[in-house]
Structure 1
């Protein structure tokens, strides 16, 4: 059709929002790119081919109606685009910032496979909802008619926050119990501001508070109340704790001062960004300023650490990873951003030992690796090259090797809670309920360490199962009365 604004991918090249110069953005924790100007967002949305089978939506865990809100954006109908994106996601502007689009929607875009460069879906998604906030289109959470039942949610991360919103709208009294002093989980304390400015998270949380959701901060289940206590106080419980136990390797010298877990390091940095008093930062133990920093790992957390160290004024920053660039789990865009900012990647390398004086790390003895036969996951397994040892200076070593589940049965005082051999909570995947009646679980504590978008999906999906269970409980009580 002559007036159709779409299918412009041949005449309009792919263009992301312009990034600030590396040397400038490395001086602060602001996001590295500004949002699109309206015309640019319209143009980039118009590149969508509106294909019959939208692989972008298929590969989006939330099943976002991506072609639909791209068309609306291209037509200048931005408020409708926001409303469409909000149908499937409670946090579209957050997903637009931190989802690995190159592995999900954009990586499966039809015009990407045709060689024209994917539609810049994530950047448009961020632009749509940022505009909605600026224009006042984001409506408050309106609690549904009270049902006389309450729900406890353990964990204020993306899965818990998403379930809380839907359950509140459905008429349940929702209480969120979280160990931290601010809600948001990894969105608040794990992800640096240059990827997700904290005001973006805080305004979402305030919206939930204003909607009547009750937050209990600095509350540890097992210390302040047992799981059974919460079960007796509320009609249902949702476990959405995430996984926070640092995965480690038994490397000689790993107990030296200066060898620190990634999440502790990132939490310290984010707390400093909030203006908190942070003794471990101020005394230098969790501050990379002036140090030779080596980050071990190749995932998104490792990328967050190397780029944080650059901003803290590290003398040098290296990332040691045992596989090559093509086989790393982290986003390739994040690798490119890190390289632009001055990070050096040492591929096919792993630590053999950490050495130092007076209990403080000074060097890493590392070994070159090579890729052997594929492992059970299909990835080629790294093998040590016996003739490839080398040494790196390291005043600070950040271990970013992933996360595992904490021992929740012991932590919660609930030995009867069923877990898998990996420590994750075992659920019936049809109902998302654990072996304990009325106790559900979602997100990383079920899946293992995964993406924020999957936690949001789980938080959305579990609400229907919880609603059906709570309704049956209410009906049974009414009959019994």
Structure 2
């Protein structure tokens, strides 16, 4: 019976949720994709081939049971679909919105490989959990029994919150420390509303608060509280700070006014959407309105910046990237959305320096792709004599992020880091060489995806529970 509902990919074409027109969506920061109607979600889920080896699942960092919840959606068993989805993922409604499905689950869909167009996994995932919230199926965090042990989590981003969810549901006392005034990390302040509306994040934050997670916000470790104090207060500690140090630009004029960091620019925009007082935005320092904007970089952060600048009313927005479109690390879907909205991509270009102070131009050198390096990617090479100046009065650096020097910031020289500055941690348990201290997400991996941070956080929480349970059993035996 179940199989009759499936395998519709032969007769039913792929259909994504309706996308708002570019002219309309440029005027606000609302999400650009509309929600599926129930019959559309069921129909698109029914295209799944229920293949014997689900590559969508194996290529998902969380190994979500995608074929199962697609089948349940196709059969209109939506609450069950939500239960299956939530079993492996703390934030399915967020992953459905911001995961690069084209590089993960959907990019490895078997029917995509056979030319039928991938199942719209991300859109269905989003639909399932949004519906679950609307229908009241989302269970509060209510542990069956409270435990005396406590865990301190440094960082209220997706990795830290995923760990908090798993631990709290088992009755562990959880305190989350974060430098910002709202929980969520980059989900709150880094990702623009047109990809992830902020009430979606705040809804989850509220769930954690109501479930007994203690948040200590506006709390900077190393300044307001020491790492040693946090360790002393808890049975285990998870470092989930993410990476916030911006890779810098070199070249003449790189310190000029008007050259800003992507994280500062995006945070200011998101704070403005919350109604916060943002002097740097109001002064124009971090506001693109009426300006000629150049964004340097080719990842998803660069896409967030160019599309934010469009919505702020920039006169023009250009993105410089040293490789070509095919080699761009950012989502191709985001590139297409940006182009529809009026962003101009200038491929095979890199900044050589900057003119003026405040900046009034980017000195650009043209590139070509040479021989592949050890990773197989072609190396950009400068084309001599092809330099030119690109007009700009706001330059946004979106070159990626690096870890801060935590041992120095926290006065903890014993905290071991790699040569890249990331915290050393066990690949499976996420425990560091420092007893009882764990590390998850970007501070271990380097700048990566939200879904990897969620996986790390859940795994670390499970490892901590295993150790706490073993210690409790040992005490009981005595």
- TM-score under structure 1 normalisation? 0.98
Pair 1:287 & 2:291 matched: no
CA contact (8 A) 2:429 2:459 kept: no
CA contact (8 A) 2:271 2:278 kept: yes
CA contact (8 A) 1:73 1:81 kept: yes
CA offsets 1:324-346 (integer angstroms, 9 cap, x no match) = 00001000000000000000000
1:467 deviates by 1.3
Pair 1:405 & 2:403 matched: yes
Q: Secondary structure at the match of 1:260?
A: strand
Change (3 A) 1:215 1:380: same
1:472 deviates by 3.9
Which ranges of structure 1 fall in alignment gaps of 5 or more residues?
none
CA offsets 1:262-301 (integer angstroms, 9 cap, x no match) = 0000000000000000000000000000000000000000
1:474 deviates by 4.3
Matches within 5 A, 1:51-90: 51-90=51-90
Q: Secondary structure at the match of 2:252?
A: coil
User: 2:158 aligns to what?
Assistant: 158
CA contact (8 A) 1:442 1:459 kept: yes
User: 2:228 aligns to what?
Assistant: 228
User: 1:193 aligns to what?
Assistant: 193
User: 1:454 aligns to what?
Assistant: 452
1:478 deviates by 6.4
Change (3 A) 1:217 1:2: closer
**CA–CA distance in 2 between the matches of 1:471 and 1:114?**
48
Pair 1:105 & 2:105 matched: yes
Matches within 5 A, 1:124-143: 124-143=124-143
Q: Secondary structure at the match of 2:264?
A: helix
**CA–CA distance in 1 between the matches of 2:115 and 2:182?**
44
CA contact (8 A) 2:428 2:459 kept: no
Pair 1:341 & 2:337 matched: no
CA contact (8 A) 2:166 2:462 kept: no
**CA–CA distance in 2 between the matches of 1:2 and 1:98?**
30
User: 1:15 aligns to what?
Assistant: 15
Q: Secondary structure at the match of 1:302?
A: helix
Q: Secondary structure at the match of 1:367?
A: strand
Matches within 5 A, 1:200-349: 200-349=200-349
**CA–CA distance in 2 between the matches of 1:433 and 1:257?**
42
1:387 deviates by 2.5
Change (3 A) 1:145 1:309: same
- TM-score under structure 2 normalisation? 0.98
Q: How many residues align?
A: 478
**CA–CA distance in 1 between the matches of 2:124 and 2:235?**
40
User: 2:367 aligns to what?
Assistant: 369
1:431 deviates by 2.6
Q: Which moved more, 1:379-388 or 1:273-282?
A: 379-388
1:169 deviates by 1.1
Change (3 A) 1:2 1:467: closer
Pair 1:182 & 2:188 matched: no
1:143 deviates by 2.5
User: 1:424 aligns to what?
Assistant: 422
CA contact (8 A) 2:317 2:342 kept: yes
User: 2:147 aligns to what?
Assistant: 147
Q: Secondary structure at the match of 1:87?
A: helix
**CA–CA distance in 2 between the matches of 1:473 and 1:223?**
33
Q: Which moved more, 1:428-437 or 1:80-89?
A: 428-437
Q: Secondary structure at the match of 2:29?
A: coil
CA offsets 1:190-210 (integer angstroms, 9 cap, x no match) = 000000000000000100100
Pair 1:378 & 2:376 matched: yes
RMSD of the alignment, in Å? 1.3
Change (3 A) 1:66 1:479: closer
User: 1:396 aligns to what?
Assistant: 394
**CA–CA distance in 1 between the matches of 2:2 and 2:103?**
34
1:476 deviates by 5.7
Q: Secondary structure at the match of 1:212?
A: coil
Q: Secondary structure at the match of 1:265?
A: helix
Q: Secondary structure at the match of 1:361?
A: coil
1:239 deviates by 0.3
**CA–CA distance in 2 between the matches of 1:374 and 1:417?**
36
CA contact (8 A) 1:144 1:172 kept: no
1:447 deviates by 0.4
**CA–CA distance in 2 between the matches of 1:41 and 1:286?**
40
CA offsets 1:217-257 (integer angstroms, 9 cap, x no match) = 00011011111111111111000000000011312111111
**CA–CA distance in 2 between the matches of 1:379 and 1:477?**
55
**CA–CA distance in 1 between the matches of 2:359 and 2:228?**
44
User: 2:41 aligns to what?
Assistant: 41
Change (3 A) 1:225 1:183: same
Q: Secondary structure at the match of 1:82?
A: helix
1:429 deviates by 2.1
